[in-house]
Amino acid sequence: MKLEELDKEKHLQDDCLSVLCDVTVDTGLRTEDYTDEVAAAEELTKAPPPFPVHGIAEAIWNRQEPDVKIEAGDGQTLAAHRWVLEAGSPVFKADLALASNDTVAELRVGDMDADVCKALLRFMYTNSPPPELEAMAERLLVAANRYELEELKLACEEALCKNIDTSSVTAALALAERHGCTVLRKAGMRFLSSPGNLDVVLASPDGLEKLKTGCPSALLELLEKNRPLDEQLLSTRV
């Protein structure tokens, strides 16, 4: 457009000329470049959130398209965001650093099923445990310990503490010993500090054996406090 063709009232406002540009960007992607990797990325973006999202969780989920595909132990796949996993778990961060796929990182978590994995992700996005926590507390505790989610691990311990009785205390102590659960161990030991409860556990066919094999440190502590237990243990060796 020549200068004399400019309409001052139409094109020049306050001595300024505004120019609208329509730009086409060539990304270099051709039909022959449409690989399985690209297809996997497109499939992942269409995947629904692995847990109900609303409020802040929905805002986080919609911040960007998911770029991590997680395969659970039962074969189900779940979508997630790399930045959420890396920020929430040093173990996930280390695993993702080893992922070779730049477009979609693929992780396999063979040590937990999809339900536990969904609960784990729910906590990482919302900082709140799932409503069905008590039903999966033991399995979720193992996963939380594996991925170093201490707040979730503590929530699982507290849920398990509510259900300690004579039939579950040895299993609870064994779980605490395997995964370093201080709160759960204290609750189990407090329960066994009652002579009546301890007597019931020892009277069961394999009660003492479970203490010996599953939670030896708890057994040693009980031996220091309970002479009858010491005598019973000695009698089993004769």
In a domain, 63, yes or no: yes
In a domain, 192, yes or no: no
In a domain, 211, yes or no: no
In a domain, 2, yes or no: no
Give the Cα separation of 224 and 219 in Å (integer).
9
Return the pLDDT at 30. 58
Return the pLDDT at 238. 38
Q: Is the pTM of this model over 0.75?
A: no
Return the pLDDT at 234. 46
Tens place of pLDDT per residue across the chain (238 aa): 777 777 766 777 777 877 878 877 766 655 555 455 555 556 665 667 777 776 777 777 777 888 899 999 999 999 999 999 999 999 999 999 987 666 788 999 988 999 999 999 999 998 888 999 999 999 999 999 999 999 999 999 999 999 999 999 999 999 999 999 999 999 999 998 887 888 898 888 888 888 888 888 887 777 777 655 555 554 554 3
SS3 of 207, please? Answer: helix
Domain count, the chain: 1
- 180 CB burial (10 A radius; 0-12, 13-18, 19+): exposed
CA 8 to chain centre: 64
In a domain, 154, yes or no: no
In a domain, 135, yes or no: no
> Which domain covers residue 60, as residue numbers?
35-130
Find the DSSP H helices in 46-148. Answer: 56-61, 82-88, 90-97, 114-126, 133-146
In a domain, 41, yes or no: yes
Residue 120 sits in a domain whose CATH number is 3.30.710.10
In a domain, 17, yes or no: no
Contacts of 37 (CB under 8 A, 6+ apart): 101, 103, 104
